[in-house]
Amino acid sequence: MSWLGLEGRVALVTGASGGIGAAIVRSLVAEGARVALFDRNEAELAALTDEIGDGHFSRPLDLLETDSIVPAIEAAAGALGAPSILVNGAAISIGAPLATVPEKVFTDQMTINMISAFRTAQAFYAVRDTGRTGAIINISSIAATNAMPKSVAYSPAKAALSMLTREQAVEWGPEGIRSNIVSPGLILTPLSEKYYADPADRKAREEVVPTRRIGKPQDIADAVLFLASDKADYVNGAEIVVDGGFTHTLMTHIPRKRD
């Protein structure tokens, strides 16, 4: 038996077939959880579903169509039983200048990155396993607290997601639901690999991270496993920043006189 005690637990994962999402799914399955996978990429979702084998549930889900969220989660609960874990991993980032970003580009990112998590949490609450502690883990980003150019929609959406998580922690904590945040830093995924294709670019990025490496999806999955488990029973409304210490390097950028 694993020390995490996730055997037999039912977990819902959005953004399940992405780089981070797939690592989370594989890790939950390896720990004995029964997982419901949701993603809008049908081909990647089907491939991951085949990989993890029987005993799980998957359904294509476009989170821009928010009215489809409740039926999807109800179907998962009907197939696997009442869930006690929800991981909101779906995300989208489309860079655009503040002065010219189209409203639809802005609202689509708000919908997928934050509003969908609000809707999935409500749906999870309605069908959850009330016989045990529930765990909601929202995948935010270091961009939620660190502004950067052309992140006019993504960063505010992730900031809102982080505060939504804390609201859930306060309101649903008395009902036995813990809500926490995992905020990734620089992580190498299929979507981000273009930024690391040039060895010089990768080396430059590695050198600004105190641990001197780029993160892996498994780094995020490991944090999620802990928060999903009863080992984190007194962790509620917290944020685990998984960035190798990158966000603590501000003072290193101050020009200093060399000794």
Q: Which residues pair with 239 in a beta bridge?
A: 181
- Please provide the DSSP assignment of 201-237 as one string: HHHHHHHTSTTSS-B-HHHHHHHHHHHHSGGGTT--S
CB 4 within 8 A of CB 224: no
Residues 6+ apart with CB under 8 A from 21: 13, 14, 15, 39, 87, 89, 90
Active site annotation includes 196: no
Nearest CA to 170 out of 231, 236, 228, 230 is that of 236
**Which residues share a beta bridge with 13?**
37, 87
Report strand pairing: 57-60 vs 10-14.
unpaired
The pair phi, psi for residue 241, each rounded to 5°, is: -90, 120
What is the number of helices (H) and of strands (E) in the chain? 8, 7
Query: Which is catalytic among the residues 154, 195, 196, 234?
Result: 154
Reported as type and span, the H/E element at residue 11 is strand 10-14
Token pair of 174, please? Answer: 């008395």
Which residues are known catalytic residues?
154
